[in-house]
Amino acid sequence: MSMFAAADQDQARSTARDLLCRAGGRGARVAVVYHADADGTSAAALACFAARALGAEVATATPDKGENVHSPAFGARVEATGAALAVVLDTGSRPGRPFAMPTLIIDHHRVDPAQAPEVEAFVSTFGGDPMTSTSALTYELLAPIAPVAPRAWLAALGLLGDLGDAARRHPLVAAAAREHGIGALREAVALVNAAGRSEAHDAGVALAALLEAERPADLARGGGEAAGRLRALRQEVAAATRRAIRVPPRVHGRWAVIQLDEPYRIHGPVASAWTRRLADQIVLVANRGYVPGRVHFSVRSHRPLDLRAALSALLPDAGPDFAAGHDRATGGIVDAAVFDELLRRIQGEAAREAAA
Ligand SMILES: [Mn+2]
């Protein structure tokens, strides 16, 4: 990151803290908007704790199946909370702004500074720090203004969820593993992720479980009501994943394509599971059953390839939901017709390679 961007980030962080403290000081409502995975949900739990400790009321919201934070229906629900400030966590970013109200975005996804959102405060590393997560950025933002230190393990959950075992080198994960055990942290990540993958997309259960938990082991073994519901959701998602992993791939050149028809958001883990067995392939797992008429798909590979570039080369202008995410973990959400065109181009690439 350039010196200029670093100075901008100091300014963004101080503005963000100021907005939260002022909202708390006047007892205002804060809308906590989050991505329904372990990282986004852990960041949301930290934001809820901090906002309440500062004196604010909290309303939480996550986009439904097939929505994102820019969907008009989602925006209307967030505006309807009557919140004076929105805190948006781990949802990626686009130019412009998702909501009319004052908005603070905390996000660790790679973004060109020229494409940064125009909101009151955008807390980001612009992708310049691959060893961070939204939960860690949120923790670092909140620690100077709110008593979140006893919940530092929430930052570790998000790091482990997004970075896997590489996150164990992060000081927040190392400290949480010493205190709580790495097994309890991993188990909590799996439970939280299951909620967002469930057929009902019941991310609120995971957030409730994190808010009622005093330590990560409370998710897997605690008697809390939300933790119990979370464990039932995980069983359902695990059964669907076992079913989906039995669907055989079709190989086209360097691509291996698996097509699912499941109401669960399990295309990502199924793709990751196949990369070991298809070590020379780019694995694409498509799900036509998640949202009718749309295809949600995940792309992963065993070898370190720029998968966003590989996808964009096939379909250069497929919109902001195509080839989003990270170089090593991407995918997209497109209309069925666009996905069928992508498949034709994959087959075309394979045929050209075979002829060469
Ligand atoms: Mn994340």
Q: Same domain, yes or no, for 85 and 222?
A: yes
Q: Are 142 and 86 part of one and the same domain?
A: yes
For residue 27, the model assigns a pLDDT of 98
Same domain, 149 and 216: yes
> 16 and 117 share a domain?
yes
Give me ligand 1 centre to Cα 38, in Å: 8
State the Cα–Cα distance between residues 42 and 35, nearest whole angstrom: 10
Residue 241 domain flag: no
CA of 159 relative to ligand 1 center, distance in Å: 8
Are residues 85 and 227 both part of a single domain? yes
In the listed set 183, 209, 234, which residue is the last one of a domain according to the structure?
A: 234
Distance 351 CA to ligand 1 centre (A): 36
> How many whole angstroms from 162 Cα to the centroid of ligand 1?
6
Distance, CA 158 to ligand 1 centroid (Å)? 7
What pLDDT is recorded for position 93?
87
42 and 100 part of one domain: yes
> Do 209 and 111 reside in the same domain of the chain?
yes
Distance CA 196, CA 183 (A): 21
Residue 339 belongs to domain with CATH number: 3.10.310.30
Q: Are residues 103 and 199 in the same domain?
A: yes
Q: How far is the CA of 119 from the centre of ligand 1 (A)?
A: 20
- Residues 205, 257, single domain; the answer is no
Q: How many angstroms is it from 39 CA to the middle of ligand 1?
A: 5
What is the whole-number distance in angstroms between the Cα of residue 331 and the centre of ligand 1? 15
Cα separation, 93 vs 174, whole angstroms = 29
Q: Which of 182, 201, 234 is the last residue of a domain?
A: 234
- Tell me: do 64 and 187 sit in the same domain: yes
Mean pLDDT of each 10-residue bin along the chain, 356 residues long: 67 97 98 97 98 98 93 97 98 93 95 92 90 97 98 98 96 98 97 95 96 97 96 96 97 97 96 96 97 96 96 92 88 96 97 92
Domain check: are 43 and 181 in the same one?
yes
Please return the burial class of 245, using the count of CB atoms within 10 Å of its CB with bins 0-12, 13-18 and 19+: middle
Q: Is residue 206 part of a domain?
A: yes
What's the predicted TM-score (pTM) here?
0.89
Last residue of a domain, one of 194, 213, 234: 234
CA atoms within 13 A on the CB side of 322: 19
Domain-embedded: residue 261 = yes
- Output the CA 43–ligand 1 centroid distance in Å: 9
Same domain, 314 and 179: no
CA of 133 to the centre of ligand 1 (A): 5
What is residue 39's predicted lDDT score, i.e. its pLDDT? 98
CA of 180 relative to ligand 1 center, distance in Å: 22
Q: Nearest 5°: phi and psi at 265?
A: -85, 75
Calculate the average pLDDT of the chain: 95
Q: How far is the CA of 102 from the centre of ligand 1 (A)?
A: 22
Q: Domain count of the chain?
A: 2
- What is the rounded CA–CA span in Å between residue 62 and residue 78? 9
Neighbours of ion ligand 1 (CB under 5 A): 39, 90, 134, 162
- How far is Cα 58 from Cα 56, in angstroms, rounded to an integer? 6
pLDDT of residue 325: 81
Residue 191 identity:
L
Continuous H helices in the chain: 3-25, 38-53, 72-80, 134-142, 152-163, 171-180, 182-197, 203-212, 217-221, 225-245, 267-275, 307-314, 336-355
- The answer to whether position 312 is within a domain reads yes
Distance CA 115, CA 198 (A): 32
Measured distance CA(102)–CA(301) in Å, rounded:
39
Does residue 242 belong to any structural domain of this protein?
no
Give 241's Cβ-side CA count (13 Å radius).
Answer: 21
Q: Which domain holds residue 142?
A: 3-234
d(CA 172, CA 169): 9
